[in-house]
Amino acid sequence: MIPRWLYSLLWILATPLIGLRLLWRSRRQPEYRQHLGERFGRYDQVPICAPLIWVHAVSVGETRAAQPLIEGLLARWPGHRILLTGMTPTGRETGRAVYGERVLQAYLPYDYPGATRRFLAHFRPACGVLMETEIWPNLLAACVSRNVPVILANARLSARSARGYGRLPALLRTAFASLAGVCAQTAGDARRIAALGANPVEVCGNIKFDVTPAADKLALGECWRQVVGSRPVWLAASTRDGEEELLLAAWRRVVSSDALLVLVPRHPQRFADVASLLDEQGWSWRRRSEGLPDAGTRVWLGDSMGEMAAYYRLADLAFIGGSLLPLGGQNLIEAAACDCPVLVGPHTFNFLQATEDAIAAGVARRVSDAEALAGTVRELLANAGALSTMRRAAGDFACAHRGAAERTLALIARWSDRAGC
């Protein structure tokens, strides 16, 4: 049982470790040394006079997922400014690429009581929207004290995470109860979140289905395909630390004389490590940043940001990373929206419902381990008919699940009405 005062004390005691962590991460991403004051609630921007809606998206995935919601907020409340907060430099850069100057951007401060109060005093949001599962007890308490309604949108909570949250009832039940409302992705998410004290909770679906792949990225993927020609292409998307070794071992059992593996690590700070691994294993490989693969390239390292839709459009078949090891998996929705057949490993608890629905719809197949992955990739790359069926199923699946953004916007309007949003 941790009361909020003890939670706040732990944040204060952890301050030196937080500083060291930022310094450590800045070795590979110097951007972590920028805007440091914002992480502690100190902002250089001139205070905004216009009414403001605040949206928090922790990193790249949430920032992209928020796009249909933010576009809807801009259209529905044209007199309001939108503040987009995040926690990572890559998320901030993604926000700049997606929204340009149409939204303000800042880091959300760490959950110190004073920092959260300074954040709210500086930006004075009329209401807030937290994407997915960002629950910060001090931040939510400060919002309640300033009468700022906060909605949890596109909310998901795995059974594993729910059990973890349930171990801190004194701290987290109050935080969940502080929310003005929750728009959950699935009925299971809604049930678990409500059990932790949130009310009201409604099922709206997954906003990521409403994200339309950028036409220029799809066209880029088509151009790549013209260069690659008829070579079979397998994409390993959003891979995590430890998976690349397994995937490359699987690829050795699959590879034919002309097949191409496109390997895209999830985190850009790992590009150099994966490049070193490819050198150590003696692959004929090339970086995306160095140009397109030639006939002798067996592995193309996707060391670019913001081009995942192009990679999906290029590929005959994609494996979704984070699922071969017990990391919970990444989302397969963007792959489906790009009409790309999908494989997933055994560990998909972070996106369980979307994954199970995709498997049931014939969009995806689950494999038990790297050996089974190799066999399935080999089988499907040799079966154009099966891939074509999965490709059609992917497009139908993506279309069938759209509409969550509009449902979420309607609930935000209802729940935030008392603040004049």
Which residues participate in catalysis according to the annotation?
A: 62
Cα–Cα distances in angstroms (integers) from residue 169 to residues 12, 100, 176, in the given order: 21, 40, 10
The runs of H, that is alpha helices, within 285-369 are 308-314, 333-337, 352-360
Residues comprising the chain, all counted: 421
Q: Please report the sign of the dihedral spanned by the C-alpha atoms of residue 93, residue 95, residue 98, residue 101.
A: negative
DSSP single-letter state for residue 201: E
Phi first, then psi, for residue 73 (nearest 5°) are -65, -40
Secondary structure E strands in 103-179:
104-107, 127-131, 150-155
Angle between helices 404-415 and 67-76 (to 10 degrees): 50
Q: CA-to-CA distance for 389 and 264, rounded, in angstroms?
A: 25
Q: CA-to-CA distance for 220 and 217, rounded, in angstroms?
A: 5
Single-letter amino acid code for the residue at 19: G
First to last CA, the chain: 36
H/E element, 280:
helix 271-280
Of 336, 324, 331, nearest to 361 (Cα)?
Answer: 336
Of 230, 242, 294, nearest to 267 (Cα)?
Answer: 242
Of 221, 282, 225, 275, nearest to 255 (Cα)?
Answer: 282
DSSP single-letter state for residue 87: S
Burial of 293: CB neighbours in 10 Å, binned 0-12, 13-18, 19+: buried
The residue assigned the tokens 């497009």 is 395
Of 127, 43, 28, nearest to 81 (Cα)?
Answer: 127
Q: CA-to-CA distance for 221 and 335, rounded, in angstroms?
A: 13
DSSP single-letter state for residue 202: E
Q: CA-to-CA distance for 134 and 153, rounded, in angstroms?
A: 10
Q: CA-to-CA distance for 173 and 176, rounded, in angstroms?
A: 5
Phi first, then psi, for residue 348 (nearest 5°) are -130, 30
